[in-house]
A and B are shown apart, each in its own frame.
Chain A
């Protein structure tokens, strides 16, 4: 039902990768789960509105006020790499293989 290629495509979308020796096990587990979910097609939902959220309120308004919450130092506390009070990340443009 769900192929290895599809699984690898979905992994790409989800920013995940799997080791070669885990892929097959994963494909078969995901296939079982998707097969189970396919049972939904047997339910007649003609004219039924989908439920996407549960909130009992419609639109919530609040005053547009500025508020001091956390300081820059606090916000940087959990950042793995900080340089000059900024979040440090590797290069955005790939230099090595120019993809």
Chain B
């Protein structure tokens, strides 16, 4: 059983018509996941109890459209009774006693959690290489990274393991791996989806989103997980549209802005060519495309790393070895318990970010770094907003290159951080943004990025759907898998 030629629609029909039981579908899915794990390492935990959950669905009868459908969940999202590690040693023994709101909403819709996908430790990274559980592999070429931090979710979807997976995106962690693996991935507007039960990295930037091969499937899952939550006061009370039912691929009259700074000389010309072709498609379909300027983009990485790391240093204070998680042995007092548990429990990248954040927030550095970054953030938000006052969408590349090699950048944190320059803007401004498969460069997928006004996910889904129906990228089987199957 693989999901290459399936949609939620087709699976729902098979389940509703009793062509297949939820239990058999889940069993087959778990088997395929296990067969692929040696090469992909997409999961931290495969949920063997899922078969029992599916049995329950069969007994209760197939109800909603997600009823009985296996979905994977990134391992920084709490799942009651299923290990949740954030790919960190410090949470390697953590068993949640409650569900994240998104997990609960999926469960209520009847979806089956088949496993927890690998990520960069605490979602800090762009390759999954900082995971305590080892790197995941790109579905198109096992020697390449799947991107990150939601690399496990992306590899799982791209390899046909599951129809959709949840990811989180703080600076591009859904869009970059979606681009690297040739799938669709959307980071919704800040506040669209509850963050309750999502392991916090940077609270003003984090957002849960969806990854799938087809646009319509992400639209459906997002409608299910979005909405106000009393447990998260930053979640919006705005009504959630039925994104899938509202899909409209008519691009006539749609105004697309293309920021010239995204066409940077540092970006692979082949990537730009692929993105240009996608934009040409939109013109052909009736959209108008105009060049705009985003002058502060050159400072986006600086703003992001100061703010995200400062928030992380605060959020990660809670890991002290006292109430949960890894506890260091042989300590002589409480201070040593804190220091040793943290120093032995966190990996290098997490320590780097905690250190940068603690520095940026410390007396003497606060004004020049944290406050300054927050001010530049305002300038940047205003630039993006003034573009979106005149245009429906902003389009450009997601990444500067296709997937890079495992080990290629891990020893150079700055080079790794620069990867995120094109995805960071949406997080800094809280805007919805997605990566849509646009083509391949030397056999590796390349995505087109689409950003829209706050709470206008529909415009992104519509444009992504229009491109999908033109290029039918979902018909392509990842190269590495094609050679095996």
Which residues of A pack against B, CB within 8 Å? 2, 6-7, 10-11, 13-18, 26, 29-30, 32-34, 36-41, 43, 45, 48-57, 60, 62, 69-70, 74-75, 77-81, 87, 89-96
Contact = CB atoms under 8 A, between A and B. Distances in A.
Interface of B: 93-95, 97-98, 190-191, 203-205, 230, 233-234, 236-237, 296, 299, 301-303, 305-306, 313, 317, 320-327, 331-340, 342-343, 346, 351-352, 354-356, 358-360, 362, 368-369, 371-379, 381, 413-414, 417, 430, 454
Nearest to B205: A54
A48 B371 CA distance: 11
A39 B372 CA distance: 11
B191 A14 contact: no
B373 A37 contact: yes
Contacts of B317: 15
B31 to A, nearest CB: 31
Given A18-B351, A29-B352, A43-B372, 18 more contacts: A17-B343, A26-B351, A30-B359, A33-B413, A33-B417, A40-B376, A45-B379, A51-B378, A55-B190, A70-B98, A78-B325, A79-B322, A80-B326, A90-B331, A90-B332, A93-B333, A94-B335, A96-B332
Nearest to B413: A29
Nearest 4 CB-CB pairings of A with B: A50-B374, A78-B324, A80-B327, A45-B375
Nearest to B372: A40
Contacts of B190: 54-55
A48 B97 contact: no
B95 A77 contact: yes
A11 to B, nearest CB: 7
Most chain A beta-carbon neighbours within 10 Å: one of B302, B332, B359: B359
Contact of B296 (A43, A55, A57): A43
B378 A79 contact: no
Nearest to B377: A51
A48 B379 contact: yes
12 contacts: A10-B359, A11-B355, A14-B354, A17-B343, A26-B355, A40-B373, A51-B377, A51-B381, A53-B203, A57-B234, A57-B237, A75-B97
Given A18-B343, A32-B414, A41-B372, A89 B237 contact: no
Contacts of A2: 359
B342 A30 contact: no
Given A54-B430, A56-B236, A94-B333, A33 B414 contact: yes
Contact of B351 (A16, A43, A52, A62): A16
A90 B332 CA distance: 7
Nearest to B427: A54
Binding site secondary structure of chain B: helix
B306 A40 contact: yes
A40 B334 CA distance: 38
B338 A15 contact: yes
Given A2-B359, A15-B339, A29-B352, A37 B333 contact: no
B337 A90 contact: yes
Contacts of B305: 33, 36-37
Given A15-B342, A43-B296, A80 B303 contact: no
Most chain A beta-carbon neighbours within 10 Å: one of B95, B326, B333: B333
A42 B230 CA distance: 41
Contacts of B323: 78-79, 87
B343 A78 contact: no
A87 B324 CA distance: 10
B359 A16 contact: no
B383 to A, nearest CB: 12
A33 B355 CA distance: 11
A45 B381 CA distance: 13
A50 B375 contact: yes
Most chain B beta-carbon neighbours within 10 Å: one of A11, A40, A57: A40
Given A26-B352, A55-B191, A90-B337, A16 B378 contact: no
B398 to A, nearest CB: 21
Nearest to A25: B348
B245 to A, nearest CB: 25
A47 to B, nearest CB: 9
B233 A39 contact: no
Contacts of A78: 93-95, 97, 323-325
Given A54-B191, A56-B454, A89 B95 contact: no
Contacts of B358: 10, 13-14
Contacts of B346: 16
A89 to B, nearest CB: 6
A55 B234 contact: yes
Contact of A16 (B93, B343, B377, B413): B343
Contacts of A94: 332-333, 335
